[in-house]
């Protein structure tokens, strides 16, 4: 029996997939933290009756992210999650926060890292000439999309596929894979980084 807190900034389709999938298990989504008070993910949290909080990186906090992170830590200390899952969280966590929750923060990225880290990964995958594209779930370290890989899933490019179609297939893959990896981590089935690789 384990718990996960989710950090997200936008749409929240991964957040919802995780909540719906874990609802049938012994594991709990204990809360959502969002850095945009108008983000659709907050509406999803309300509908799903998941505790949620909006933290502000605005104005003063933009130059001093430690203030926003102080709020984040306050919520995390209240919820005491076993795992923290970033799901479309568009901020970079400070090395101090990453160290504080070392090995317990994971992220999902819509490319086969180390290809296309950072923003617009799906568009860049689409524009590339790779025969396969995919997703990566990895531990968060101090870099941008650089931490140790937990799992990658790939799909073959389809002839004549539009960007929207590829994007939908990538999201479907995310929604199927991220909840599964979270459940496995909380089950304690993925106990060592060396065992995580699953091409």
Of 2, 5, 7, 13, the one binding ligand GRF (CB under 6 A) is: 13
Asked if residue 81 lies in contact with residue 31, where contact means CB atoms within 8 angstroms, the answer is yes
Q: Which stretch binds ligand GRF (CB under 6 A): 6-14, 25-33, 97-105, 179-187?
A: 6-14
- x-marked contacts with ligand GRF along 102-141 as a string, rule CB under 6 A: ------xxx-------------------------------
Q: Which stretch binds ligand GRF (CB under 6 A): 11-19, 27-35, 71-79, 150-158?
A: 11-19
Q: Report the DSSP beta bridge partners of residue 5.
A: 31, 84
Task: State yes or no: is 75 an active-site residue.
Answer: no
For the chain, the distance separating the N- and C-terminal CA atoms, rounded to the nearest angstrom, is 27
Q: Does 21 bind ligand GRF (CB under 6 A)?
A: no
Asked if residue 153 lies in contact with residue 178, where contact means CB atoms within 8 angstroms, the answer is no
CB of 138 to ligand GRF, least distance (A): 11
Q: Report the DSSP beta bridge partners of residue 7.
A: 33, 86
Please tell me the count of residues contacting ligand GRF according to CB under 6 A: 13
CB of 13 to ligand GRF, least distance (A): 3
Asked if residue 86 lies in contact with residue 9, where contact means CB atoms within 8 angstroms, the answer is no
C-alpha distances (whole Å) from 118 to each of 76, 109, 190 are: 25, 9, 26
Beta-carbon contacts of residue 54 (< 8 Å; ≥ 6 apart)? 33, 34, 35, 36, 37, 39, 42
Rounded Cα distance, 162 and 82, in Å: 39
Q: Between residue 68 and residue 107, which ones bind ligand GRF under the rule CB under 6 A?
A: 87-88
Q: Does 177 bind ligand GRF (CB under 6 A)?
A: no
Q: What does the binding site for ligand GRF look like in residue numbers (CB under 6 A)?
A: 8, 10-15, 87-88, 108-110, 174
Active site residues: 109
């Amino acid at each position: 029996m384990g718990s996960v807190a989710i950090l997200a900034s936008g749409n929240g389709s991964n957040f919802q997939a995780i909540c719906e999938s874990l609802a049938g298990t012994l594991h709990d989504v204990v809360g959502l933290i969002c850095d945009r008070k108008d983000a659709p993910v907050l509406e999803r949290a309300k509908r799903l009756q998941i505790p949620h909080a909006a933290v502000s990186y605005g104005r003063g906090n933009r130059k001093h992210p430690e203030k926003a992170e102080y709020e984040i830590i306050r919520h995390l200390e209240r919820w005491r999650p076993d795992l923290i899952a970033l799901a479309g969280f568009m901020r970079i966590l400070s090395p101090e926060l990453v160290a504080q929750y070392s090995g317990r923060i994971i992220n999902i990225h819509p490319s086969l890292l180390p290809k296309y880290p950072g923003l617009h990964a799906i568009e860049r995958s689409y524009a590339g000439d790779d025969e396969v594209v995919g997703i990566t779930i990895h531990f968060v370290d101090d870099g941008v999309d650089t931490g140790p890989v937990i799992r990658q899933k790939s799909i073959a490019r389809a002839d004549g596929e539009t960007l929207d179609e590829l994007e939908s297939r990538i999201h479907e893959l995310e929604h199927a894979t991220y909840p599964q990896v979270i459940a496995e981590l909380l089950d304690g089935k993925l106990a060592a980084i060396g065992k995580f690789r699953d091409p």
